């Protein structure tokens, strides 16, 4: 049986990665700067399934190719304090450093350093416990990171620390400021740490405020849908690693209907390959599969989004889905619901935070995707 080259829901393999040239260049420049002693940091912001984790994975391979130690952490609610955050980072550096120093046959000094380096909350000391002065964890942590840098430099040109699902940091009070202070001071002391955060757009309010000190430090990048060419690349690259063929017409249909949402492209590719006739995908296969693919999208994405909305928020979703224009103003929706704008504005904000709506400039919104609009239209409320 031919292997299906599409993998909806999994981060894309770096060799199948499509588009995002600007983001890749940006990372290359920042990494170079970090390796030259001037650390730069980044934050990736974007809605669900837009490709944040895949971009991190791509950057990770680039950093590793430059012989940098790269730690990619997935944050979750169990990381609930600055102490546990530091613990995860330091443990990650230890794990990656040990692997890395063997992989690149680095000097005995670096290998010994990682063999001996131990991190436990206990070792980092009672100073990391809650209840002590806020300043002390940062001093302790600075010594710790400095110690690591002294142990591995110059064999290792930089340490890249990536934190995915970083919206969890918003629940750890002061953690973003803490990271900023810690890594600013480390940079002043000549330590080559690069910090990268990635998380859901709406939840990352503090970084989103452009010109805020945090935004200046983290240099946020907002990921958008893939462009026309990038969509075709996202379809053709996986196909080129397989024995499936697809007509140009079908590629265009997917590029169009997906609106460049990478997860939706993967889902179409996956189910079309599953249902290909003699490994060939043409318009007949496409249209025969279309209803099944919509069902899958509903159960894997849309049901979840819809059920996250409260009854009042659902009224707004239906009103937007029923309006003739894709992009509507709060005022228009308010009128169609017989309400005042100020009574319902907060519902729009919440729906954006839940990834159901997209904001297009002040007071104008659309559903997050055209297929989500079809889904809502078909749903009775
Ligand atoms: N540049 C890309 N080229 C091709 N496919 C991609 C690209 N980026 C993402 N994808 C595909 O899109 C889907 C979503 O990607 P990913 O998991 O990286 O998104 P995410 O923004 O991290 O999502 P979440 O918000 O759920 O964490 C995956 O199936 C992945 O294979
Ligand atoms: Mg992700």
Ligand 1 centroid to Cα of residue 17, in Å, is 9
Any ligand 1 atom below 6 A from CB of 49: yes
Residue nearest ligand 1's atom 14 by CA: 49
Any ligand 1 atom below 6 A from CB of 198: no
Ligand 1 atom closest to 56 (CA)? 18
Ligand 1 atom closest to 198 (CA)? 22
Q: Give per-residue burial for 40-72: e unless 16+ CB within 10 Å, then b.
A: bbbbbbbbbbbbbbbbbbbbbebbbebbbbbbb
Q: What is the pLDDT of residue 250?
A: 98
Any ligand 1 atom below 6 A from CB of 258: no
Q: What is the pLDDT of residue 381?
A: 63
Ligand showing the shortest atom-to-Cα distance for residue 46:
1
Pick out the chain residues at pLDDT < 70.
Answer: 1-2, 104-107, 117-139, 201-211, 381
Ligand 2 centroid to Cα of residue 50, in Å, is 8
Any ligand 1 atom below 6 A from CB of 224: no
Pocket of ligand 1, candidates 8, 12, 237: which has the most ligand atoms within 8 Å of its Cβ, to mutate? 12
Ligand 1 centroid to Cα of residue 48, in Å, is 9
CB 36 within 8 A of CB 213: no
- Pairing mode, if any, of strands 69-74 and 42-46? unpaired
Task: Write out the residues surrounding ion ligand 2, Cβ under 5 A.
Answer: 52-53
How far is Cα 172 from Cα 170, in angstroms, rounded to an integer? 6
Reported pTM: 0.90
Q: What is the pLDDT of residue 110?
A: 72
Q: What is the pLDDT of residue 135?
A: 38
CB 171 within 8 A of CB 80: yes
> What pLDDT, in 10s, does the model give residues 170-186?
888 888 889 999 999 99
> What pLDDT, in 10s, does the model give residues 289-310?
999 999 999 999 999 999 999 9
Q: What is the pLDDT of residue 122?
A: 47
CB-facing half-sphere around the CA of 308: CA atoms within 13 A:
14
Torsion sign across C-alpha atoms 306, 309, 311, 316: negative
CA distances from 332 to 129, 272, 347, 374 (A): 53, 39, 14, 20
Ligand 1 atom closest to 237 (CA)? 4
Q: What is the pLDDT of residue 21?
A: 96
Any ligand 1 atom below 6 A from CB of 11: yes
CB 97 within 8 A of CB 131: no
């Amino acid at each position: 049986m031919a292997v299906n080259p599409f993998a909806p829901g999994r981060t894309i393999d770096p060799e199948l990665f499509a588009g995002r040239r600007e983001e890749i260049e940006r990372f290359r420049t920042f990494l170079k700067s970090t390796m030259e002693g001037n650390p730069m940091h980044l934050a990736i912001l974007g809605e669900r399934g837009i490709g944040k984790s895949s971009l991190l994975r791509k950057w990770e391979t680039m950093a590793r190719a430059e012989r940098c130690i790269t730690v990619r952490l997935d944050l979750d609610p169990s990381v609930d304090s600055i102490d546990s955050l530091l613990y995860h980072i330091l443990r990650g550096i230890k794990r990656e450093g040990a692997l890395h120093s063997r992989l690149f046959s680095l000097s005995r000094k670096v290998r010994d350093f990682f063999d001996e380096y131990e991190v436990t909350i206990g070792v980092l000391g009672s100073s990391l416990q809650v209840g002590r002065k806020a300043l002390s964890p940062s001093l302790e942590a600075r010594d710790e990171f400095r110690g690591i840098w002294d142990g591995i430099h110059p064999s290792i040109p930089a340490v890249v620390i990536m934190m995915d699902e970083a919206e969890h940091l918003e629940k750890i009070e002061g953690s973003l400021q803490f990271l900023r202070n810690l890594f600013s001071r480390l940079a002043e002391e000549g330590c080559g740490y690069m910090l990268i955060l990635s998380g859901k757009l709406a939840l990352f309010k503090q970084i989103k405020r452009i010109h805020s000190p945090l935004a200046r430090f983290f240099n946020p990048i907002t990921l958008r849908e893939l462009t026309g060419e990038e969509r075709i690349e996202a379809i053709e690259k996986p196909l080129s690693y397989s024995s499936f063929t697809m007509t140009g017409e079908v590629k265009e249909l997917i590029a169009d209907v997906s609106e460049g949402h990478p997860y939706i492209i993967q889902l179409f590719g996956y189910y079309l390959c599953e249902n290909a006739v003699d490994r060939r995908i043409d318009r007949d296969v496409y249209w025969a599969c279309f209803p099944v693919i919509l069902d899958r999208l509903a159960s894997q994405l849309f049901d979840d989004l819809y059920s996250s909305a409260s009854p009042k928020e659902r009224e707004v979703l239906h009103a937007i889905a029923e309006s003739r224009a894709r992009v509507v103003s709060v005022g228009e929706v308010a009128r169609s619901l017989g309400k005042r704008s100020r009574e319902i504005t907060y519902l729009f904000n919440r729906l954006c935070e839940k990834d159901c709506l997209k904001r297009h400039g002040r007071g104008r919104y659309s559903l997050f995707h055209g297929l989500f609009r079809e889904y809502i239209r078909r749903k009775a409320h």
